[in-house]
Structure 1
Amino acid sequence: MLSHTSNLHRWLTMASLMLAGEAIFLLPYMRKTFQTSLEEVFRISSFELGFLSSMFGLLALACYLPGGWLADRISVRRLLSFSLIATGAGGLVMLAIPTYPLMLALHAFWGVTSILTFWAALLKATRLWGTSETQGTSFGLLEGGRGATAAVMATLATTAFAFAGGDANPRAGLVAVIYVYTGAPLLSGIIVWFLLAEDPPMRGTAKSSAEGLLRRALTTPKVWFMAGIIFFAYLIFTGSYYFPAYAERGLGESKLFGAQLGTFRDWLRPIAAIFAGLIADRIGVTRGITIGFSTLALLYGSLWAVPSSASSYQLLFAQVTVISVMLFALRGIYFALMEECRIPLALTGISIGLVSMIAYTPDIFSHLIAGWFLDTHAGAEGFRYFFGFLATMATVGLALILTLNRRLQ
């Protein structure tokens, strides 16, 4: 798959990874644009919706490490295709607007299909796609392409929601969105199967035991630094899911406006991630991450400091723009730390699994924290307290990347 036999094949490979990398997460992360509609149609609270995300996160957490081991031993093509088609099949179940217990089971199922057989395989393929000098560009392209896919899908979903009369009939609007978000992974799974070739196991992993590889990863201090940095970057990223709901509940805007704000946020992702990757290859990944954390601490702090009565949709758009650019820039480059931290290629899969197992634990609790803030403090105040919490977390992330930078020097 990654032999670079032709320039066209090389870019088709990246394009298929971009498409697959986002299509698989559309269904479990639908809340980031359609939170209030999900709560209304499924008749659940913000906390209960957060618990669905926690169920997804719990199963994902259990799957990251074995998924890294699988990625070094099973064809990326088979892993990705299976994951995408299985995830899309779950969307067919969601179309029936099932009961809350079945929704919990569905999110647990997605936690397995999108992580165990997918995540480490995707990142491994991306690392191998680039060279040691272009890791920022490789991961920036992946995140940027995923962002472009998310923006297109969010635009299609928002259009479907509006066309179905979602403001007046949230159930009809949400069903239209589910159709869009179910078709994407099913189609992507077929495309990946026909575009990607079989890939052999990495040299040095086929004969290595899982225990041996894990022991090497566990005793590499920079792997732990990566895990901590990505943990805080991902934690503060979850705050961006609440911009549409903040516009609706804090500023009194419509559901359609909230969906449009979420779509605008998603369109910033490809631009921010690709440029971040290109810039990181010039100034260094650690310096780029330092800039990102610094800016996010200030901007999330501004969302906490400015009361909703003094805010406006113009100010909110400005804040959302800068925060989203920095968040997507971080997502575009933080896995490029593998090369800067000199993680051996033979440890790619298991290191991704270990780092991800720690770094993505916010999927378990971040939405519960947000749900607690929103259910405990009425209206805009709950959002402001949550944004203040995220500003604090960005400051901790900044301290970690500065410490790693000193160790690398």
Structure 2
Amino acid sequence: MGKEKKSGKVITLILMMLSLNTIYVLPYLMYTYYAPLQEAMGLLGRDADYGKLLNVYGIANIILYIPGGMIADKFDAKKLLIFSMIGTGALGLWEATWPSYTILMIIHVAWAFTTVLTYWSASIKCINVIAGADEQGSMYGSLEAGRGIVGIILTTIFVGIFTKFSADSSKAMSYVVITCSVVMILVGIAMVFLMPVTNVEGSTNKGLLDSIKAMGQALSRPVTYLLSGMIFGACIAQAGISYLAPYLAKVCGMDQNMTVIFANYNRTICTLIGASIAAFAAKKMGRSSKFMIYAGFGSIVSYILLVLIPGSAVTMFPILVIMVFSTLCYPVFRALYYAVVDELGTQKNVVGSVIGIASILGFLPDTFYTSMCGARLEADPVGGYKFVFITCMAAMALGLICAFISDRKILKYRKTDEYKATIKQADM
């Protein structure tokens, strides 16, 4: 591989780490700054209206996943990413003026267009296109690990800004939103000058009819549904992690301050470690699905133990260790499942459509899982947590089955002349 091509991959990877860590901050800002953001928007006492902002964003996302996949297969990913970063940042600067509720609603709907329609499938396809057939897992794993590092840095900056101006919530939130928006716009501008062209031969469709045909191919390909199953499992496992700290506090009796520290560092550090190991293992093993199988087994065993071991002060330490292990397993799936798309020989002009369909199915838990768990916890606090662990175990079992089937199919595909020709062309 030439030095220029290799440096282009590294630059693209860094820019994608920055973009993925900023583009979704603003739509989900209420998750980390609920009260101060509500006050800045002038929505104190209007929790229902406040919540609707995220609801309309989520609904628009679901609608736009599939057309977003078609667009990713029609246009050069670089152009879509540049538009997404600058567009999302510009909308953020508009939000920072704290306009009327109607305008805030319009901004959130517009964010769905810039973060999903033109960004989500294009961002995944970008890595798919620049990575060789033998480095898909290591590239996606490195992306996820790098996101962990960049996420820690950016979070520290945003928290520092908020803390400095926290006496005035509106001003503090304005500076946080403006800083994030400016970073996004700068990343978009950097993409213009630094990111190499991501439109390789055969990666895009020429017209609408070709895009429709690509969508039809994606619907008929097993990889679409295998990927959706792996995303579904990891999606529920990710949501389930948010219940680990409350379980330690309410059932095991851990000090509240300690649970806050645990919650903040467990996910961040485990994601960084898990994704880094995944990147190394995928390269070492030669395919991504094999290590996902190991992670799936480990995750299931950890949730079985959490169900069987009664929560108490006496069992707190072993439960803590098991929780850390389970949190290490989930990012392995998130770091590697997109690599399977290429490893199963999916044509580049179909990748976006595969990701769009798989995303709308795989991320369905976002629409119901936390409210379902919340209802169970209200009805039976202790039993509710067991319900969380059981559903996480079942979801990861689905992910494991899909990873296992993918692994068999990858091994079968690698015996074909098509795969051998692809590898030969990559080595040229």
Compared with structure 1, are the counterparts of its residues 19 and 317 closer, same or farther at alpha carbon in structure 2 (3 Å cutoff)? farther
Counterpart check, 1:353 vs 2:352 = no
What is the distance in 2 between the residues matched to 1:380 and 1:91?
Answer: 41
Q: CA deviation at 1:235?
A: 2.5
Counterpart check, 1:111 vs 2:108 = no
Q: Which moved more, 1:298-307 or 1:217-226?
A: 298-307
Compared with structure 1, are the counterparts of its residues 178 and 244 closer, same or farther at alpha carbon in structure 2 (3 Å cutoff)? farther
Compared with structure 1, are the counterparts of its residues 49 and 227 closer, same or farther at alpha carbon in structure 2 (3 Å cutoff)? farther
Q: Which moved more, 1:365-374 or 1:378-387?
A: 378-387
Residue type of the partner of 1:206?
Answer: K
Identify the residue that residue 297 of structure 1 maps to in structure 2: 300
TM alignment of 1:264-279, pairs within 5 A: 265-279=267-281
TM alignment of 1:171-210, pairs within 5 A: 177-200=176-199, 202-203=201-202, 205-206=205-206, 209-210=210-211
Q: CA deviation at 1:17?
A: 1.7
Alignment deviations for residues 250-285 of structure 1 (CA, whole Å, 9 cap, x no partner): 75625x973773255224433321320220233332
Residue type of the partner of 1:192?
Answer: M
TM alignment of 1:7-406, pairs within 5 A: 7-30=6-29, 33=32, 53-92=54-93, 94-95=95-96, 105-164=106-165, 177-200=176-199, 202-203=201-202, 205-206=205-206, 209-242=210-243, 251=254, 253-254=256-257, 258=260, 261-263=263-265, 265-283=267-285, 284-302=287-305, 309-310=312-313, 318-319=321-322, 321-373=324-376, 376-377=378-379, 385-406=387-408
Residue type of the partner of 1:359?
Answer: G
Is the 8 Å Cα contact of residues 81 and 188 (structure 2) preserved in structure 1? yes
Q: CA deviation at 1:312?
A: 9.2
Alignment deviations for residues 79-127 of structure 1 (CA, whole Å, 9 cap, x no partner): 1122122223343455467788766654433222111101121111101
Q: CA deviation at 1:300?
A: 4.1
Q: CA deviation at 1:61?
A: 2.0
Compared with structure 1, are the counterparts of its residues 7 and 15 closer, same or farther at alpha carbon in structure 2 (3 Å cutoff)? same
Identify the residue that residue 415 of structure 2 maps to in structure 1: none
Residue type of the partner of 1:361?
Answer: L
Identity of aligned residues (%): 23
What is the distance in 2 between the residues matched to 1:58 and 1:170?
Answer: 29
What is the distance in 2 between the residues matched to 1:235 and 1:52?
Answer: 23
Q: Structure 2: which 5+ runs fail to align?
A: 413-428
What is the distance in 1 between the residues matched to 2:105 and 2:261?
Answer: 24
What is the distance in 2 between the residues matched to 1:302 and 1:107?
Answer: 41
What is the distance in 1 between the residues matched to 2:267 and 2:281?
Answer: 21
Q: CA deviation at 1:354?
A: 2.1
Compared with structure 1, are the counterparts of its residues 233 and 372 closer, same or farther at alpha carbon in structure 2 (3 Å cutoff)? same
What is the distance in 2 between the residues matched to 1:298 and 1:258?
Answer: 26
Is the 8 Å Cα contact of residues 148 and 272 (structure 2) preserved in structure 1? yes
Secondary structure, counterpart of 1:230 in structure 2: helix
Structure ranking higher on relative contact order (CA contacts 8 Å, 6+ apart) = 1
Secondary structure, counterpart of 2:24 in structure 1: coil
Is the 8 Å Cα contact of residues 297 and 391 (structure 1) preserved in structure 2? yes
Is the 8 Å Cα contact of residues 74 and 211 (structure 2) preserved in structure 1? no
Q: CA deviation at 1:59?
A: 1.7
Q: CA deviation at 1:74?
A: 2.2
Alignment deviations for residues 8-41 of structure 1 (CA, whole Å, 9 cap, x no partner): 3332122112211221112234455556877898
Q: Structure 1: which 5+ runs fail to align?
A: none
Q: CA deviation at 1:227?
A: 1.8
Compared with structure 1, are the counterparts of its residues 395 and 198 closer, same or farther at alpha carbon in structure 2 (3 Å cutoff)? closer
Q: CA deviation at 1:400?
A: 3.2
Residue type of the partner of 2:339?
Answer: A
Q: CA deviation at 1:165?
A: 5.3
Secondary structure, counterpart of 2:338 in structure 1: helix
Q: CA deviation at 1:54?
A: 4.7
What is the distance in 1 between the residues matched to 2:279 and 2:163?
Answer: 35
Secondary structure, counterpart of 2:337 in structure 1: helix
TM-score by length of 2: 0.78
TM-score by length of 1: 0.81
What is the distance in 2 between the residues matched to 1:248 and 1:153?
Answer: 28
The number of aligned residues is 404
What is the distance in 2 between the residues matched to 1:264 and 1:152?
Answer: 16
